Chains A and B, each alone.
Chain A
Amino acid sequence: MTQKLWARLIKGPEVRFISHLDLVGTVEKALRRARVPLAFSQGFNPQPRIAFAAALPVGMTSSGEYVEFTLREPWPPEFFLKQVNGQLPPGLALAAVREVPEKYPALMAVVNLARYQIGLELPAGRGSEDFSRAWEGFLQQEEVTVSRQTRKGLRRFNLIPYIYHYRLQEDSSDSIAITLELRLTPQGSVRPGEVMEAFRAYTGWEGRVFFLHREGLYIVRDDGIHSPLTVKF
């Protein structure tokens, strides 16, 4: 009997420069040190069954990364949490874990929304209304092309369909806080850094992005937005 666990992982500033691939390896080693009875994939090169819901861009912190672990024998979730947290390097911690039924879909197949917190400078002489106007003008376009250098070459796509929702808040007299929700789709997603770059390029905005944080990943359905740790299927 295998056991499926979904956990929320925090990636703090100490480890924000770790790439996604290295993060997976770091978590795997922590689980091995904790003696977690990990289940392995089948095949010539069996791999431990650890699956992250969505890769986090390098350099960004997060309070809500989600990971699915499959164990070959069940562990009480609280015990799992305690054992693994004792083996994670500074900056990484499991905040919560939930046991889900075997029949639940794979976490990465259902998570479809990412919420980011972005801190943006207001340049001298420009207020929050100036920003709101520029921002709304930017998002009213039908098409904003992002070019991304990938290993397979240059990928170009429209970022507008990926914008789900946003909220603006004046942070202080010289900065603005943006809560930005972006869709994660099987075809891909746009990074908040790419959105902000496109915004700056379109509007000529001079303020710097000084803060970029992923608050969490969610599941949007007709019945609302759910956290992976409470959603039911």
Chain B
Amino acid sequence: MKPELEEILPQVSKPTRYLGTEWNAIKKDHRQVDVSFALAFPDVYEVGMSHLGSKILYHIINKRPDAVAERVYAPWPDMEARLREASLPLFGLETGTPLAEFDMVGFSLQYELTYTNVLNMLALGKIPLRQEERGPGDPFVIAGGPCAFNPEPLADFLDLVVLGEGEEVIGELLTVLKEWKQEGGQDREAFLRRAAAIPGIYVPSFYRVHYAGDGTIAAVEPTRPEAAPRVEKRVVADLDAADFPSAPVVPFMDIVHDRAMLELFRGCARGCRFCQAGMIYRPVRERSLKTLLAQAEALQRSTGYPEMSLTSLSSTDYSRIRELIRRLQEAYGDLKVSLPSLRVDSFSVNLAREVEGLRKASITLAPEAGSQRLRDVINKNVTDRDIEEAVAVAVAGGWTAFKLYFMIGLPTEEEEDLLGIARIAEQVASTPDPAGGRGVRRVTVSVSNFVPKPHTPFQWEPQVEEGELVRRQQVIRRALKNRRIILNTHDTRASFLEAVFARGDRRLGKILLAAHRLGCRFDGWTEHFDYGKWEEAFTACGIDPAFYALRRRPFTEPLPWDHLSPGVAKDFLSREYQRALRGEPTVDCSLVSCSQCGVCPTLELPIRLRGGDRDDPETVGQID
């Protein structure tokens, strides 16, 4: 460790964030490799370390003998202050190499309110912020993750963007980078042109955006032959063959998801219309039971975690979920198995009951909307009866604390839907325990504000304006009578900014720069979020944020992300939008019939239910 760092660490909170010596951390001599990559996560260590995608890339890059990957997270403000005082640049955790000395710095974009952290990390790393200011010797700054499907607000700052799953494309990119470096590595444009020829790679500076008189986009025009008019995402066809992190870094400190992660499948075909993940990660691809058991064994041996989480967008949908849980419990007696995302039905709750055993903290269910009508609009295929049964099974199973997740501001929402949220919460709170126990002790109702996202059926919808959202929060608050119900609402101004940047275009780059200069960072953290500074930035730049968040966009208007494709057809999204307004649900294509979203033919890839035959339907839903 550098002596300057030795001096600083005793003065900051949670110093083990910055050690880089955790179990399974990989330290390589940069002089012995051809390319170096900083895996940058624009949030604090305990959030970034919980992200599976970063673990996968760390493993894949470091497996190459010619490459090194190190981790870097946004330093917490106390650490940032110390780094600035000591004039220490932000560094890769493993070797302390300054960020500016890496060949490539790759950010994972999970959330719009981390964008100022991207800029702040570049600034702390002494890397020129705007891509056009970078020259020979500067790193290439790249990004991936869900927000990369509309990276336009960050276009000024990014050299290139990776669309979709990174396992395969990262290797192709590093190989091109290595060749370019070996040829002298001076002409950045030459590298970017070669990179742009790789499927799934988007180079924002190779596209010119034309605007119409009313401020909307007229056209997006590629300016180099390598730049495709429409960049398709990358997707891993066979997850059984894909590399997975068999020995992830084990942090010293307690992180957000402090457990081993077993990824059962990617994609989700439930088709919730608000859900961006459900659209951009299609199609559904499962790992086989055999692969999962082998991976579980490797994780147990390499990490020693006492808990393993079965992750994916809707884990209880895995074809052989019961069999998997049974086999894990047999093989590892004292391992806690956990299910992160429970569907609201008795089958899922029964599964949770099996894995949780006697240790029951609270159970989380997400009905999302308060009425059957609105749940049909958003295609959350959960009925009132599903909710009632799920809760009854949970109470009978011994849970006394519930967390319920809802959204407000959904398209077509009315007073009745808001009262429905309160009604469901009240019902849960008063569910009797058939065994005569004390029943439900606490119901925590978390109400978030709906943010329309790109590449979803609601991408044309305006966000409900702030004052109205606050009023709707109050409607629910007033309707709640039971004192065992706790209502948590979200900051409407933060949701508004999220909506602005989610569907923003390149002109918002100035705003990000202005907000960064005003000192904005960690905007997703209530204690650091300062909306006044954002207002100042919008005013100074003469940009109206409402244009992005609150305007209903016509189907005919070119959207800032139309040249970026997750494989789902735009006309499927508009069809889904119209069905939503008519309150018509659409079925799960992995269970019933194809809904013609276009992803399989576009990516030439069928859905794969590799788990094999589903668990016997006769026994599904039964406890034993």
Contact = CB atoms under 8 A, between A and B. Distances in A.
B252 A31 contact: no
A215 interface: no
Interface in A39-60: 40, 44-46, 48, 59
Nearest to A25: B254
A91 B304 contact: no
B21 A18 contact: no
Nearest to A29: B304
A108 interface: no
Contacts of A17: 9-10, 15-16, 19
A33 interface: yes
Interface string B286-303: 000000000000001111
Q: Which among B9, B254, B334 has the highest number of chain A CB atoms within 10 Å?
A: B334
Interface residues of A, number: 27
Interface in A1-58: 14-15, 17-19, 21-22, 25-26, 28-34, 38, 40, 44-46, 48
Given A44-B358, A89-B21, A89-B23, A15 B304 contact: no
B304 A45 contact: no
A29 B305 contact: yes
B20 to A, nearest CB: 10
A139 B506 CA distance: 69
A89 B15 CA distance: 17
B16 A32 contact: no
A87 interface: yes
Contacts of B22: 89
A45 B250 CA distance: 23
B253 interface: yes
B359 interface: yes
B306 interface: yes
A31 B21 contact: no
Given A14-B21, A22-B253, A59 B302 contact: no
Contacts of B250: 29
A40 B334 CA distance: 9
B16 A33 contact: no
Contact of A91 (B9, B21, B254): B21
A33 B302 contact: yes
A90 B21 CA distance: 7
Contacts of B252: 15, 18, 22, 25-26, 89
A29 B16 contact: no
A30 B23 CA distance: 9
Contact of B303 (A33, A44, A89): A33
Contacts of A90: 21
A34 B358 CA distance: 27
Q: Which among B23, B305, B358 has the highest number of chain A CB atoms within 10 Å?
A: B23
Contacts of A14: 1, 19, 21
Contacts of B10: 17, 59
Nearest to A23: B252
Contact of A44 (B19, B304, B306, B359): B359
Given A17-B15, A22-B16, A33 B304 contact: yes
A33 to B, nearest CB: 4
Contacts of A26: 23, 252
A210 B306 CA distance: 38
B21 to A, nearest CB: 6
Interface in A60-82: none
Q: Which among A15, A26, A87 has the highest number of chain B CB atoms within 10 Å?
A: A26
Q: Which among B19, B304, B359 has the highest number of chain A CB atoms within 10 Å?
A: B304
Contacts of A18: 16, 252-253
A32 B304 contact: yes
A192 to B, nearest CB: 15
B23 A32 contact: no
A44 B336 CA distance: 13
A91 B254 CA distance: 19
Interface in A76-107: 87, 89-91
Nearest to B361: A45
B489 to A, nearest CB: 28
A30 B304 contact: yes
Contacts of B15: 17
Nearest to B332: A32
Contacts of A32: 300, 304-306
A87 B15 CA distance: 22
Nearest to B305: A29
Interface in B1-52: 1, 9-10, 15-16, 19, 21-23
A148 B359 CA distance: 35
A97 to B, nearest CB: 19
A33 B306 contact: no
Contacts of A31: 304
A19 B21 CA distance: 15
A91 B252 CA distance: 13
A59 B303 CA distance: 25
Contacts of B359: 44-45
Interface string B328-361: 0000001000000000000000000000001100
Interface string B182-203: 0000000000000000000000
Given A22-B254, A44-B358, A91-B21, A28 B304 contact: yes
A33 B358 contact: no
Contacts of A91: 21
A31 B303 CA distance: 10
Nearest to A72: B334
A193 B136 CA distance: 50
Contacts of B305: 29, 32
A33 B23 CA distance: 11
Contacts of B21: 14-15, 89-91
Nearest to B358: A44
B254 A29 contact: no
Contact of A28 (B16, B300, B306): B306
Interface in B249-278: 250, 252-254
A17 B252 CA distance: 10
Nearest to A21: B254
Contacts of A21: 254
A185 B473 CA distance: 53
Contacts of B9: 17
A26 B253 CA distance: 9
Contacts of A59: 10
A31 B301 CA distance: 11
A136 B128 CA distance: 58
Contacts of A89: 21-23, 252
B296 to A, nearest CB: 14
Nearest to B359: A45
A26 B24 CA distance: 13
Contacts of B301: 33
A115 B229 CA distance: 71
Contacts of A38: 334
A14 B305 CA distance: 22
Nearest to A17: B15
Interface in B296-320: 300-306
**Which 3 A/B pairs are nearest by Cβ-Cβ distance?**
A29-B304, A32-B304, A33-B304
22 contacts: A14-B1, A14-B19, A15-B252, A17-B15, A17-B19, A18-B253, A22-B16, A25-B254, A26-B23, A26-B252, A28-B306, A29-B250, A29-B303, A30-B304, A32-B306, A33-B301, A44-B358, A48-B306, A59-B10, A89-B21, A89-B22, A90-B21
Given A29-B303, A30-B23, A30-B304, 15 more contacts: A14-B19, A17-B10, A17-B16, A18-B16, A22-B254, A26-B23, A28-B306, A29-B250, A29-B304, A29-B306, A33-B301, A33-B303, A40-B334, A44-B359, A90-B21
